[in-house]
Copies of this chain bind each other. A is one copy, B any other.
């Protein structure tokens, strides 16, 4: 599984607690690899047992203690091993596509509305990505190394969302013409 490795990639960039990781997964990393705090805590513990990360308890004033995790040498070895390993493309899972395929067995107008809703959701996410793109990568041609890689991941998110928006609008146009 890749959750361990996604967490280590994030921790290698900057050490952090489970709670902080959960918030990172809601933002940047979570755009292409989702995880809840329960998953993260469980996996962090497993990785601690395996020696991939080390925890340091940090007392804070005005807040509960936190455990700040760092990737160990063993963890870095594992990360390199995993990075070198080939990755199989994940099979697609699109529930809306299943509903579209079965649309004529139910209420086509309801599906139309649902597609419009998904279009709006995707357009909102796309806007969010574009804001990050302009804010964090104003001059993409000059990027190198890690920053370039981060930018390219964001580009993937933008392309996927744009593709979805275009698809949803094609569906809406076609369903209107079929009414």
Using a CB–CB cutoff of 8 Å, the interface residues on chain A facing chain B are 2, 5-6, 8-9, 12, 29-34, 76, 79-80, 82-84, 86-107, 110-111, 114, 117-118, 121-122, 143-146, 148-150, 152-153, 155-157, 159-160, 162-164, 166-167, 170-171, 174-175, 178
Contact = CB atoms under 8 A, between A and B. Distances in A.
A81 to B, nearest CB: 9
B34 A92 contact: yes
A170 B160 CA distance: 13
**How many copies of this kind of chain does the complex include?**
2
Contacts of A166: 159
Given A106-B79, A149-B104, A97 B32 contact: yes
7 contacts: A12-B105, A84-B107, A87-B95, A90-B93, A90-B95, A103-B149, A148-B174
Given A2-B95, A83-B99, A101-B153, 6 more contacts: A5-B98, A32-B98, A104-B149, A155-B167, A160-B164, A160-B167
A134 to B, nearest CB: 17
Contacts of A82: 99
A9 to B, nearest CB: 4
